[in-house]
């Protein structure tokens, strides 16, 4: 899917594109303030919002009206309320909440994009800290997990619908965080038993999440490092939004190790914001630059790279198709 962009053949369109970061920051700030949660219970005036959010007041009316213009709020008389999308996806504690991604973008990606010139000159990441620091801080790790949940909460139903699961008895989600994607899959497939492999600090978050969902007896956590530790075997192995964190050589190592954990006759699923020959896929190119800014060698990649690496270890059946708005799903069969 290509993204809609301003008409950059005109000065007005170029300036509108230049100011697009302002729209993004307005959304990120509203999520940071938890504005949409405040308005979930009902509409409010500007003054009521000023008091409840502990704001100064200067610029607040313009800020709220910008959110109206962006389609995130609606205004009737002097009262503001959430637009339908914001009320469904940006209210804390709703199961459809995707604000975890917004918090991560606000705290990590937004500052890093201000250093894009330096990243292009040096090839080095610009975000503060690395993932080792993320996992060492439970609060920061919690923010990362909520970001991942935001993505899998949207993509989960689409993945479940896009693939036939009934022939499999066991599944493994590599880099599955606290099991949010795996939990959706096993809930939709009562005969499927799931495994999640991720770094050991994820385990307490996994245990808590499974207890809340009532899935303790259907999903099992395995802690380790994908480069150094053994993976559980399964009929179906999933690699989602993991490979883009690494350079091509490391992607090959992970994919071929994942392929080795697939039982004979089983399937490997890979999904990511993959690139193709069309240079207009703005969203996926943005995500690829995100990886420049926050990782040592990560980037998005074409589906053909997945096929090449899998073929080297004997996978012969390869299909790919769109998944959701921006992802590509690659299905690889291991010979029996």
Tell me phi and psi for residue 127, to 5 degrees: -70, 145
The residue annotated as part of the active site, out of 40, 103, 241, 244, is 244
The two beta strands, 193-198 and 170-174, are parallel
Beta bridge partners of 267: 236, 333
Helix (H) or strand (E) holding 75: strand 73-76
Q: Strand pairing partners for 194? A: 171, 219
Buried b (16+ CB within 10 A) or exposed e, 9-42: eeeeeeeeeeeeeeebebbbebbebbbbbbbbee
244 is catalytic: yes
Contact yes or no for 172/237 (Cβ under 8 A): yes
Element (H, E) at 198: strand 193-198
Catalytic residues: 244
């Amino acid at each position: 899917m290509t993204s809609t962009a301003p008409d950059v053949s005109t000065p007005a369109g170029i300036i509108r594109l230049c100011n697009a970061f302002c729209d993004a920051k307005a959304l990120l700030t509203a999520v940071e303030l938890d504005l949409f949660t405040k308005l979930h219970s009902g509409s409010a005036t500007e003054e009521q919002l000023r008091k409840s959010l502990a704001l100064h007041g200067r610029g607040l009316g313009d800020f709220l009206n910008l959110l109206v213009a962006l389609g995130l709020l609606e205004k009737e008389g002097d009262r503001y309320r959430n637009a339908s999308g914001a009320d469904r996806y940006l209210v804390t504690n709703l199961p459809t909440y995707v604000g975890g991604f917004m918090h991560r973008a606000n705290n990590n990606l937004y500052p890093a994009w201000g250093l894009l010139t330096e990243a292009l000159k040096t090839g080095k990441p610009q975000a503060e800290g690395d993932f080792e620091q993320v996992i060492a801080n439970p609060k920061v790790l919690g923010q990362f997990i909520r970001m991942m949940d935001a993505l899998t909460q949207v993509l989960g139903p689409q993945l479940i619908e896009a693939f036939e699961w009934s022939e499999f008895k066991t599944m493994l989600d590599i880099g599955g965080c606290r099991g949010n994607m795996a939990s959706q899959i096993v809930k939709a497939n009562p005969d499927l038993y799931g495994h999640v492999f991720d770094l050991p600090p994820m385990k307490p978050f996994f245990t808590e999440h499974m207890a809340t969902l009532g899935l303790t007896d259907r999903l099992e956590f395995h802690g380790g490092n994908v480069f150094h530790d053994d993976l559980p075997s399964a009929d179906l192995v999933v690699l989602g939004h993991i490979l883009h964190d690494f350079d091509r050589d490391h992607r090959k190592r992970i994919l071929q190790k994942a392929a080795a954990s697939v039982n004979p006759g089983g399937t490997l699923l890979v999904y990511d914001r993959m690139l193709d020959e069309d240079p207009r896929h703005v969203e996926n190119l943005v995500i690829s630059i995100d990886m420049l800014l926050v990782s040592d060698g990560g980037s998005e990649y074409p589906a053909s790279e997945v096929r090449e690496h899998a073929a080297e270890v004997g996978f012969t059946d390869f299909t790919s198709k769109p998944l959701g708005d921006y992802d590509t799903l690659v299905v690889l069969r291991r010979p029996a």
